[in-house]
Chain A
Amino acid sequence: MPAPLIEMRGISKSFGAVMANEAVDLSVAPGEILGLLGENGAGKTTLMNVLFGAYAPDAGEILVQGRPVTINSSADALAVGIGMVHQHFHLAPRLSVLENLLIGIPGKSGRIDRAGGLARLNEIGRQHGLTLDPDLPVTALSIGEQQRLEIVKALFRGARLLILDEPTAVLAPTEVDGLFSALRSMAAQGLGIIFISHKLNEVRALTHRCVVLRHGRVTGRVDTPASTTSSEMARLMCGHEIVPPARGPSTPGEAVLTLDGISTSRHSGMALRDVSLSVRAGEILGIAGVSGNGQRALAEVISGIRAPDAGQMTIAGKMVARFSPREVQALGLGRIPEDRMTTGLVTNLPLADSMVLPRIGTGAFSRNGLLRPDAIRAFAEAQIKAYDIRCPGPMTRAGALSGGNLQKALLARELAFDPKVLIVSQPTRGLDIGAARFIHEKFLAMRAKGCGLVVLGEDLEELLMLSDRIAVMYEGRIVRTLDSADATIARLGLMMTGAEGHS
């Protein structure tokens, strides 16, 4: 095996009392793709931020090609050939592709070296199949293209080790294939790659070797990911076996939510075009699609936030006359929004306030125009106990909770009022396996109780596991609705890109 490109020895990093990394050893050889596996909070991102110079380690050293180096900033990291593609892209949206590449690159006689940049961009594009239009502004690129730009940016700066932090979380299945072939091509040319993920099948398909982190420590090293089972890796990640919940047979009842010919104007993002669907009591309808294909508009219409230009909607058999969140809620709709932090709750207010916010005007929480703080508090305390929400108490600032606990709080808030229909967007995005499992079990319990659920998401495995039927959205339309027995990841993935567009 060749000498390691990068070696981290005994890295420790703590934030206050929390040990984020403890004595972590890790190395990457040229031409090697290393998987870094672990649940949320396991310390993967912290470790990579140490490597990329965002945090200084408390102990340990970093060696680049055998020589110890000190990395205090991303500039230092770039100088020794380490590039990173963050989960949230670091691009300037209104600048062009080329400008985003040339930032920080010294010019030629005081001017930006446009010709040199173009030549380099083309060269990288040819080598790895990463082509981009240099003059398009970043806003005109798809998420996949923006990620490609981030990768090109790192290579542009001469990175020989590329760190990718959960790169597939934002991609459609077909885009994932493109990414993987580019990564394999880079590895074949001697680059080192660290691939961070908690998706076991991807790690098994792509990486040569992988390191598993739990609670900041290395809990496992897998030298042959391809021939190691997913459940074996999951056990290393979580410390115990994970059994996926089984979705029993159901006997769907009456339709509790119907949409008939719903269309919206293109206000922001993709508009809906003639969308019809129905969800029955005791049924989970999954809605698959690459993000940006109208899911947000659909969720907003169903939640009463946006009124459609055409079409009708019924909830529990009653026509929705006026589209407002209060109206649809009164008809029996519960909602867990896509973005927990901005539309889910108020991060600067106590958790208890956020948990009663949608129903603050009802008799349960206010009387004669005055709040009933005791009732609010009692409600929050009861839910915290029932859902095992980890927080110091109901008066904790909501923003201080972890993603998994926030999602539990939102779920508790909606389920406490026995909705007839529940609409959820990206229910487990960013949650670790344990928290995701809890949410899934709750959904299946709701289904057994006769609630109709609409689950929007990009995680096809999750949708296949939960849903009775799956509708695929593409460019604002529902391309097709499948029984989940007939659906496979490959087929859904294809439909999500607009292929098989007959319904």
Chain B
Amino acid sequence: MSVVLEQIFQVGFLAAIIRIATPLAFATLGEMFSERAGVLNLGIEGIMLLSAMTGFTATSLSGSLWLGVLAAVLTGALMGAVHALFTVALGLSQHVCGIGVTLFSSGLAYFLYRLIFGQQSVPPSIKSFETLPIPVLSDIPVLGPAVFNQFSLVYMAMAAVPLAAFVLYRTPWGLSVRMVGENPRAADSAGVGVIATRFQAVMLGGALMGLAGAFLSMVQFNAFTFGLVSGRGWVAIALVVFGRWDPWRSAGAALLFAFVDALQLRMQASGLGHIPYEAFLMLPFIFTIVAMAVMSRNAVAPSALLKPFRREER
């Protein structure tokens, strides 16, 4: 185990945690905003994949990384709007619509990718973002190079957490989001537009999921592959529960998951015993299940989660 402990305090290991946590943090915050407003978004997995594809494509065609990020964000917000149209405006089942959005977005991503890039023997790739060391801070031993010599999207994720907390807890709009997720009728009778607020929250959530997708295809892998997201969206949904619908806790949950994931990668690489590597692959998910079971006992979901709002219904 001392080998493992040594590994933990290496720069590379810390940096890996941060990198793995970044897309999860975006996705978890996105899902959290949506659920805080009372809308479960099971479209997250597909939204991430489609955004990863559009972001990659936009960059690949234009050569501009930031244009790609913008495309991914807009894609996410648009798919969020699609989900909101069905679940908020029309009041349909959030489960069914969410699964539908995921299937549709994934299918669309594969289709458009093939349409644009065709079948190539060498998959197209883009020149990725480069790390951006922050002066002074990146000179701190160990922590500096790991945390402050990162990609700009990583810094954005770090800023997104306090920003999300501020918006949710300190602004009138954030209060409206929490209110429509707890008791939409109360919000309505206070003159808050329930439909509009939910729409906005789900679209903001979608945009954040889009950022998560952009990170995967434009930073982590520099390419688009069909297995790119591979369950990270579903994990984010679990992390929201684990994080008790709070931005700070959600980000903490993402970091914890990333830690276990980075650990299992190292354990695979260090060839611990003769355990098949698939066993290590399971670790983060076992961790998620155990953590959920232990920590989420007393977690209370927003009261109006899954409940569509119709005014004349009494």
Instruction: Assess A100 versus B186: contact at CB under 8 Å? Given A73-B191, A92-B179, A94-B303.
Output: yes
Residues on the B chain within 8 Å of A110, using CB: 171
- Quick one: which of A73, A78, A99 contacts B175, CB cutoff 8 A? A99
Residue B1 lies at the interface, judged by CB distance under 8 Å to chain A: no
Q: Which residue of B lies closest to A78 (CB)?
A: B191
Residue B312 lies at the interface, judged by CB distance under 8 Å to chain A: yes
Across the interface, do A90 and B171 meet the contact criterion of CB distance under 8 Å? no
Assembly CA distance A90 to B303 (angstroms)? 13
Quick one: which of A204-250 are within 8 Å of B by CB?
none
Residue A93 lies at the interface, judged by CB distance under 8 Å to chain B: yes
Which range holds the interface residue count of chain B? 20 to 34
Assembly CA distance A103 to B191 (angstroms)? 9
Residue B190 lies at the interface, judged by CB distance under 8 Å to chain A: yes
Residue A106 lies at the interface, judged by CB distance under 8 Å to chain B: yes
Assembly CA distance A367 to B171 (angstroms)? 64
CB distance from A395 to the nearest CB of B (A): 25
Quick one: which of A83-107 are within 8 Å of B by CB?
84, 86, 89-95, 99-100, 102-107
Residues on the A chain within 8 Å of B191, using CB: 73-75, 78-79, 104, 157
Assembly CA distance A74 to B187 (angstroms)? 10
Residues on the A chain within 8 Å of B188, using CB: 73-74, 90
CB distance from B208 to the nearest CB of A (A): 20
Across the interface, do B171 and A107 meet the contact criterion of CB distance under 8 Å? yes
Instruction: Assess A153 versus B190: contact at CB under 8 Å? Given A92-B303, A112-B171.
Output: yes
Instruction: Assess A93 versus B170: contact at CB under 8 Å? Given A54-B311, A103-B175.
Output: no
Residue B189 lies at the interface, judged by CB distance under 8 Å to chain A: yes
Residue A111 lies at the interface, judged by CB distance under 8 Å to chain B: yes
Residues on the B chain within 8 Å of A84, using CB: 189
Quick one: which of B148-191 are within 8 Å of A by CB?
170-172, 174-176, 178-179, 182-183, 185-191
Instruction: Assess A90 versus B186: contact at CB under 8 Å? Given A74-B191, A102-B172, A103-B176.
Output: yes
Residues on the A chain within 8 Å of B291, using CB: none
Residue B8 lies at the interface, judged by CB distance under 8 Å to chain A: no
- Quick one: which of A55, A90, A93 contacts B185, CB cutoff 8 A? A90
- Quick one: which of B172, B183, B190 contacts A107, CB cutoff 8 A? B172
Residues on the B chain within 8 Å of A54, using CB: 311-312
Residue B300 lies at the interface, judged by CB distance under 8 Å to chain A: yes
Across the interface, do B172 and A106 meet the contact criterion of CB distance under 8 Å? yes
CB distance from A165 to the nearest CB of B (A): 12
**Which of A54, A84, A92 counts the most chain B CB atoms within 10 A?**
A92
B binding-site residues for A, Cβ under 8 Å? 170-172, 174-176, 178-179, 182-183, 185-192, 300, 303, 311-312
A binding-site residues for B, Cβ under 8 Å? 52, 54-55, 73-75, 78-79, 84, 86, 89-95, 99-100, 102-107, 110-112, 153, 157
Known pairs A52-B189, A111-B172; list 9 more (Cβ under 8 Å): A73-B191, A75-B191, A86-B189, A92-B183, A92-B187, A103-B176, A104-B172, A110-B171, A112-B172
17 contacts between A and B (CB under 8 A): A54-B311, A90-B185, A90-B186, A91-B183, A92-B186, A92-B303, A94-B300, A99-B178, A102-B172, A103-B176, A103-B179, A103-B187, A106-B172, A107-B172, A111-B170, A111-B172, A112-B175
